[in-house]
Amino acid sequence: MEEPSENADWLAFGLQFIFGVAVGCFLGLVVIVRRHHGIWLHEELIFLFLAGTGLIGAGLGSLRGDRLWIGSSYRVIAPDAPTHSRTSRAVAVCAMVLGAALAGYSLFRHFS
């Protein structure tokens, strides 16, 4: 992992964060929907779970950038690693931790 610089690319960070929220919420919805029986999670916990998975996706997306979405499928030019400052890296990690706490709390409430 590279050393954080003084300046982050906040526009790229924000766009990756927003896209990560959308992808995380979609994948969270895929997890809680049963094929023929609907949503298995209690209704009051759906928002917490989707907010948690959205924050996990946002943190991962903003931290890894295009390398998360493209991976090793590029052909000619590899995607650049995102430029992070200590603040942007801390925001991404805090989003993932908060998202994991929300999703875990909603699952704990559902199964307890």
Residue 69: predicted pLDDT: 76
Residue 91: predicted pLDDT: 94
Residue 75: predicted pLDDT: 66
Domain membership flag for residue 75: no
| Beta bridge partners of residue 33, listed in sequence order | 39
pLDDT band at 103 (very low <50, low <70, confident <90, very high): very high
Q: Each residue of 1-32: pLDDT tens digit?
A: 555 556 878 888 999 999 999 999 999 998 88
Question: Helices 86-111 & 10-32, crossing angle to 10 degrees?
Answer: 10
Q: Which structural domain, as residue segments, surrounds residue 31?
A: 18-68+82-111
Domain membership flag for residue 27: yes
Domain membership flag for residue 6: no
Total domains in the chain come to: 1
Spatial distance between the Cα atoms of 13 and 83, rounded to a whole number of angstroms: 9
Domain membership flag for residue 102: yes
For the entire predicted model, the pTM comes to 0.84
Domain membership flag for residue 64: yes
Q: Each residue of 38-64: pLDDT tens digit?
A: 778 888 999 999 999 999 999 999 988
Domain membership flag for residue 58: yes
Domain membership flag for residue 3: no
